[in-house]
Chain A
Amino acid sequence: SNPFEVKVNRQKFDILGRKTKNDVGLPGVSRSKAIKKRNQTLLKEYKEREKTNVFKDKRFGEYNTKITPEEKMIRRFALERQQNYGKKNIYNLNEDEELTHYGQSLAEIEKLNDIVDSDSDTEERGTLSAELTAAHFGGGGGLLRKKASSEQQEEEQEKPKSRKELIEEMIAKSKQEKQERQSRRESALELTEKLDKDWKEIQTLIAHKTPKSEKKDKEVEKPKPDEYDMIVRELGFEMKAKPSERLKTEEELAKEEQARLQKLEADRLRRMRGIDEETSKKRPSHMSADDLADGFILDKDDRRLLSYKDGKMNIENEEDKEEEEGEKEEEEEGEEEDNENEEESQEESASENEEDDAADSHSDLESDLESEEEAAGSKEEKKHKANENESQNMEKFDPKREAAKSELPYTFAAPESYETFKSLLAGRTIEQQLIILERIQKCNHPSLAVGNKAKLEKLFGFLLEYVGELATLDLPELRTIDKLVLPLYNLCQMFPEAASDSIKFILRDAAHDLGEVIEVKGRAAFPGLDTLIYLKIVSLLFPTSDFWHPVVTPAFMYMSQLLTKCRITTLQDVIKGLFICCLFLEYVSFSKRFVPELINFLLGVLHISLPKNQAQGYTVVHPFTPVGKNSELLLVCDKEDLKSWEKQNVPLSIVTRLKEASRTEINHTRLSCLALCFDLIKKCAALYESLPSFHEIMHPVRILLTQHVPVNEYPEKMQEWYHSALKELENKVKHYTPLICEKKKPVPLKQYTPKIVKVLEFGKKQAGSKKEQERKQLIQRHKRELKGAIREIRKDNQYLARMQLSEIMERDSARKRKVKELLGSLATQEGEWKAMKRKKWKN
């Protein structure tokens, strides 16, 4: 380019290796480029600012920037080909319009003629054509000749015909002939079509069921293929050995499963230690929600899990999957079936309700049905039969169950509010509730529609709320909760974030309430069973061994508050407290973390089971007091009750209704609590064995156990518990090693050599973490873009102003010119007029 147009940005210092973008500029070129661009865009817009009609560009993908130009071209080409497909002539633009002659399509006629051509009777045509050619091309001569020849024959009978008559006759003749031919053709065509149709019908039959003999016959009919050809074909079509996935053997499957579990376990360990938190954060989310859900559906484990429910879930699962595809079509059919099945299902619904009770009742029912057919038969026989049929029982039930289940609709809209959710589940059995939940999940799978994810996330919240409500009932429906945990788990696997959020919400509410009560009254009571269940559910849904976990850590804190802040005034409180102790133990069972509150509480529980008359060698902490009203809550003095006690599991429902129980029962519950306490102490001892100050931790408990507990008064069973706990405590070696600090890295002396930093890319700041760097980069880019945009806008405005100015100038000059013209013409007019006047005057 012109050296005078080049502008060089001089560098003050030359730096080796630095690449500069802007050392040479072409201001003139770039300015003219910018102006040209504005001419094309801004000016156009400006000129069209008052026009409302638009120019539509329907070229495919013209303004779609997502498509690369090549692809665009390819697609356009394809479209063009599509449009032209079927057209014979690309130059014939009017292909679509059909040309007709006498109402008949020309194309058709052409076709017919073609066929005629191909099909014999050439001679006939030949004659006709001869005649025709003679008529057409022979000129008058031909006709005359014909006339002459015909005259020779006809002259005797008739008067000679005129030329016009002759022509008409000929035309009529040819038309007739043509029609005849046409009709013949048509009939032939019809026949061939009919034959084709028949053949097709037969062919379908043959293709399916031709006996071999027929096939052989056909083969015989065919000319025998050449042997060489056959071999060539065979080689050509021979199945190439395709690499395919080998079916995995059981062992391999097991191995894979094991590997997967091992990986998860390793993950868990890493999280437990709480190291490399940073790296784990950078890591892509460790299980993507969808991925995991799928995996679990296909899992072996899952199958086992489903079969856990009387082997019923399995079947439904497959069934549902099939249904899922054709669900919408089937829905109506299903309803029809419903009507048909209603009578049956009414009968069977009764049986279904009893199904859960015992297998015997099923078989009885079954045999009852059979007995109707048999009409008569002894009871023994029936039973015998029932036993025989037992293996078939399952199979027989399934259709029945299905029929019964068909009462439930197949699709459910995801409930929008808790009320609708509750009304969905109201009055259903546990199994039905589960099916409903499962169907809701399937119908609203996130892959099916956009809003489904949010819906299912809501569903998790509703389900939690429902569980809480079940637990707060007078008679808590714990069995239902037990089953409802499964859908909770599945939903949680699908939407970890939402699930953790809703559980955190519940925890926060509970802790908030607790905090308020403590602030106002200075003490608090234990929360209801629902909170305990929630805490248990946390341990089922989330790994409790993590060093830090968004849900589990707050749960830990909440439980710790419960154990330290809540007053213990009743036996229920003790049970709740022990439940939380169990939770603590379960939470830390894997990570073996130290929970001081747990030991304190167990010590306190032991303390309240003792008569208060001895001197103490231990101190109890906060919720328990050394002396006072509730300090003998677990003390059992009744000898009878002591003797009649048997270890039994404490029913959780006792937490809500203990008042109805008799005195003996209460005493028994107390003893069960004590046994539980012993067992927990034993478990704690096993758990904390490795802690360096294990003996100091367990010291008060040991003193209490060895010196204060009246072992001999306890029933034998209780003594067993006691001794196993004590043994666990005693047989730990005392082992102390002095602490040594980790060696500190020696701090290097300050040196005056320059610090050398590896520069990977010039012009980039290296300091800071990656995130920080990214942020800085974004800020910088934003700044640059903003500056650029402002500059552009300014230039646009200048350009526009220039344009407007030039427009105005143009207008003005045009006006000036016109005015001048007018004035000029007026002046000449005036001049002429004056000249005329003068002339007149002279004259």
Chain B
Amino acid sequence: QLPTGLYKKVLVILHDSVLPYMNEPTLMMDFLTVAYGIGGAISLLALNGLFILIHQHNLEYPDFYKKLYSLLDPSIYHVKYRARFFHLTDLFLSSSHLPAYLVAAFIKRLSRLALTAPPEALLMLIPFLCNLFRRHPACRVLVHRPAGPADMSEDPYVMEEEEPSKSRALESSLWEIQSLQNHYHPDVAKAAAVLNQSLSEMEDDISGLLELSAYELFDKEIKKKAVDVPLEFEPVRGLFGKKNDIFAEHFSL
């Protein structure tokens, strides 16, 4: 109905500039439901208004979590509204009454998608996952399965499955996070290594991490003072002079 740009603009301000002042916020129900069904960034933005309706106006939304689950795709780590989305997701998943399979499916999907995420998103995501584990101890089998089969030839988790209950997430393990322990960014690697240990009781505060930007990360790194600077000991032999240099194979000066 509306052009995309306008749609986004409306949805961005809807939850705090429009809904509180309406006499009958439930009138927006249809608009938000449709917007939520569109997919992509618009769905993400519609979440906020929808949450208010569900939370304060007793809106019953069937398959809400299934829809939320299907919203998760690689772009969530790259879009502008990442902070808002994860803030809401954190809220939705904070209920301790959620079934373990659902939370496990979310965890698994988020971490699978994390394999394409930039470091600033990863630094936020990993504490987020840790919090989920703390809230839902039943999901800890994902990181700790002492009685499982020794060797599997396939990840039991089915990424393509739309229905969280059928994704077999609880049978899987978080190999993605284990891979991230080898991430090039030292902080990400350290954060991922936390899942190796059993978690502490206190939840991490991720509100400060939600808005983290790449430039901030860079700035933090470059301002660190080093006591001494290790040096390359292999003497150089020109710009592309290293042995097995990839550049020498494909580029010429």
- Prevailing SS type, chain B contact patch: loop
- Give the complex CA separation of A548 and B117 in angstroms: 20
**Set B182, B189, B195, B250: member contacting A592, Cβ < 8 A:** B182
Of the candidates A504, A622, A697, A741, the one whose C-beta lies within 8 Å of that of B179 is A697
Cβ of B218: which chain A residues have Cβ within 8 Å of it? 511, 515, 554, 557-558, 561
User: Per-position contact with A for B203-245: 1 when CB-CB < 8 Å, else 0?
Assistant: 0000000000011011101101111111111011111111011
- CB-CB under 8 A from A301, the residues of chain B are 235
With known contacts A478-B239, A543-B230, A594–B253 Cβ distance under 8 A: no
Say yes or no for A635: interface residue by CB 8 A criterion. no
Interface residues of B in 167-191 (CB under 8 A from A): 173-176, 178-180, 182-186, 189-190
Chain B, Cβ-Cβ closest to A650: B251
Contacts of B78 in A (CB 8 A): 564, 621-622
Residue of B nearest to A494 (CB): B231
Residues 473-508 (chain A) with a chain B CB within 8 angstroms: 478-479, 481-483, 485-486, 489, 492-493, 496-497, 499-500, 504, 507-508
Kindly state whether residue A206 has any CB partner on chain B within 8 Å. no
Could you tell me if B154 and A734 are in contact, using CB atoms closer than 8 angstroms? yes
B residues 113-155 with Cβ under 8 Å of A? 115-119, 142-146, 148-155
- Does A565 lie within 8 Å of B230, measured CB to CB? no
Q: State whether A696 and B115 are in contact (beta carbons under 8 Å apart), knowing that A593-B184, A741-B197 are contacts in the complex.
A: yes
Question: Using Cβ atoms and an 8 Å threshold, which residues of chain A touch B30?
Answer: none
Q: Are B151 and A735 in contact (CB under 8 A)?
A: yes
Task: Indicate if the CB atoms of B173 and A738 lie closer than 8 Å.
Answer: yes
Query: Are A594 and B232 closer than 8 Å at their CB atoms?
Result: no
Partner of B231, one of A287, A308, A695, A738: A287
Q: Which of chain B's residues has its CB closest to A299's CB?
A: B235
Instruction: Find chain B residues with CB under 8 A from A653 CB.
Output: 253
Determine if B73 is an interface residue (Cβ-Cβ < 8 Å): yes
Asked whether any CB of chain A lies closer than 8 Å to the CB of B24, the reply is: no
A515 to B215, CA, bound (A): 6
Known contacts A305-B235, A652-B252, A737-B150, A697 near B230 by CB under 8 Å: no
Whether A683 touches B252, Cβ cut-off 8 Å, given contacts A556-B185, A735-B153, is: no
Please encode chain A, from 664 to 691, with 1 for each CB lying within 8 Å of some chain B CB and 0 for all others: 0000000010001001100100000001
Rounded to whole angstroms, the CA-CA distance of A679 and B146 in the bound complex is: 40
Contact A482 B175 (CB under 8 A): no
Cα(A741)–Cα(B239), bound, Å: 45
**Interface pair A696/B118, CB less than 8 Å apart:** no
Bound Cα distance A281, B226 (Å): 9
Q: Contact string, A558-576, partner B, CB cutoff 8 A, digits 1/0?
A: 1011001100000000000
Closest to A548 in B: B186
Of residues 62 through 114 on chain B, the ones whose CB sits less than 8 Å from some CB of chain A are 73-75, 77-78, 112
Indicate if A261 sits at the interface (CB-CB under 8 A): yes
> What B residues does A578 contact at CB under 8 A?
250
User: Given the complex of chains A and B, what is the CA–CA distance between A285 and B227 in angstroms?
Assistant: 8
For A550, what are the chain B residues with a Cβ–Cβ distance below 8 Å? 224-226, 229
- Kindly provide the distance from the CB of B213 to the nearest chain A CB, expressed in whole angstroms: 8
B247 pairs with A586, CB closer than 8 A: yes
Query: Chain B residues near A493 (CB, 8 Å)?
Result: 231
* In contact, B231 and A496 (Cβ under 8 angstroms): yes
Nearest CB in chain A to that of B233: its residue = A264
Asked whether A492 and B253 contact (CB < 8 A) given A586-B245, A593-B183, A740-B145, the answer is no
Q: B-facing mask of A400-413, CB < 8 A → 1, else 0?
A: 00000000000000
Residues of chain B with a CB closer than 8 A to A496's CB = 228-231
B231:A292 contact, CB within 8 angstroms: yes
Chain B residues with Cβ below 8 Å from A744 are 197-198
Complex interface: chain A residues within 8 A of B74 (CB)? 619, 621
Q: Which residue of B lies closest to A594 (CB)?
A: B182
Query: When the two chains form their complex, are residues A549 and B215 in contact, meaning their CB atoms are under 8 A apart?
Result: no
The CA of A155 and the CA of B145, in the complex, are separated in Å by 153
CA distance A488 to B182 in the complex (A): 31
Contacts of B227 in A (CB 8 A): 281, 285
Q: Are A305 and B237 in contact (CB under 8 A)?
A: yes
We find that the number of chain B residues with CB closer than 8 angstroms to chain A is: 77
Chain B CB within 10 A, most for which of A296, A299, A652: A652
A274, CB-defined interface residue at 8 Å: yes
Is there an interface contact between A543 and B232, defined as CB atoms closer than 8 Å?
yes
- Complex partner residue of A286 from B142, B153, B230, CB under 8 angstroms: B230
Question: B202 contacts the other chain (Cβ, under 8 Å)?
Answer: no
Cβ 8 A contact of B246, one of A481, A533, A586, A694: A586
Is A444's CB within 8 Å of the partner chain B? no
Contact A560 B222 (CB under 8 A): no
Query: Are the CB atoms of B235 and A296 closer together than 8 Å?
Result: yes
A540 within 8 A of B: yes
A739 touches B143 (CB 8 A): yes
CA separation between A537 and B240, bound complex, in Å?
10
Considering residues B75, B118, B250, which has the most beta carbons from chain A within 10 angstroms of its beta carbon? B250
In the assembled complex, the Cα of A564 lies from the Cα of B217 at a distance in Å of 14
Within 8 A of B (CB), among A591-644: 591-597, 599-600, 619, 621-622
Q: Which residue of A lies closest to B160 (CB)?
A: A617
Other-chain residue from B178, B224, B228 in contact with A692 (beta carbon distance below 8 A)? B178
Q: Separation in Å of the B43 CB from the closest CB of chain A?
A: 16
CA distance in complex: A804, B21 (Å): 86
Task: Please tell me if A729 contacts chain B, counting CB pairs below 8 Å.
Answer: no
Assess A504 versus B222: contact at CB under 8 Å? Given A553-B185, A621-B74: yes
Output the nearest chain A residue to B186 by Cβ-Cβ distance: A548
Closest-CB distance, A443 to chain B (whole angstroms) = 23
Complex alpha-carbon distance, A649 and B252, angstroms:
6
> Which residue on chain B has the smallest CB distance to residue A599?
B116
Given contacts A696-B155, A737-B150, A742-B196, contact A582 B253 (CB under 8 A): no
Give A300 to B146 CA distance when docked, in angstroms: 54
- Asked if B249 lies at the interface with its beta carbon under 8 angstroms from chain A, I say yes
Known: A622-B75, A649-B251, A652-B253. A739 touches B152 (CB 8 A): no
**CA A737 to CA B151, docked complex, whole Å:** 5
Nearest CB of chain A from residue B72's CB, rounded to whole Å: 12
Q: Which residue of B lies closest to A541 (CB)?
A: B232
Contact A692 B222 (CB under 8 A): no
Residues of A within 8 A of B237 (CB): 305, 308
Cross-chain contact of A676 among B190, B233, B235, B250 (Cβ < 8 A): B250
> Are B143 and A741 in contact (CB-based, < 8 A)?
yes
Q: Contact: B231 with A542, CB < 8 Å?
A: yes
Q: Mark A702-745, 1 if CB is under 8 A from B, else 0.
A: 00000000000000000000000000000000111111111010
Nearest-neighbour CB distance to chain B for A733, whole angstroms, equals: 8
A651 at the interface (CB under 8 A from B): yes
Whole-angstrom distance between the alpha carbons of A599 and B175 in the complex? 18
* Residue among A497, A596, A694 with most chain B CB within 10 A: A596
Residue in contact with B247 in the complex, picked from A285, A536, A543, A588, CB distance below 8 Å: A536
A554 vs B190: C-alpha distance in the bound complex, in angstroms?
17
- Min CB–CB distance B156 → chain A (angstroms): 9
A565 touches B214 (CB 8 A): yes
Task: Assess whether B242 is in contact with A540, with CB atoms less than 8 Å apart.
Answer: yes
Q: Is A463 part of the binding interface, using a Cβ–Cβ cutoff of 8 Å? A: no
Contact A737 B152 (CB under 8 A): yes
Subset of 22 A-B contacts with CB under 8 Å: A271-B230, A299-B235, A482-B239, A489-B235, A543-B230, A557-B214, A564-B78, A582-B250, A582-B251, A595-B184, A596-B115, A597-B118, A621-B77, A652-B251, A676-B250, A679-B249, A691-B179, A736-B152, A736-B173, A737-B150, A738-B173, A741-B144
A interface residue numbers (CB < 8 A to B): 261, 264, 267-268, 271, 274, 281, 285-287, 292, 296, 299, 301-302, 305, 308, 478-479, 481-483, 485-486, 489, 492-493, 496-497, 499-500, 504, 507-508, 511, 514-515, 518, 533, 536-537, 540-543, 546-551, 553-554, 556-558, 560-561, 564-565, 578-579, 582, 585-589, 591-597, 599-600, 619, 621-622, 649-653, 672, 676, 679-680, 683, 691-697, 734-742, 744
List 13 additional contacts besides A551-B229, A592-B182, A651-B251; criterion CB under 8 Å. Answer: A268-B233, A274-B190, A285-B228, A479-B253, A537-B239, A549-B229, A564-B78, A594-B183, A599-B115, A622-B75, A692-B179, A696-B159, A739-B178
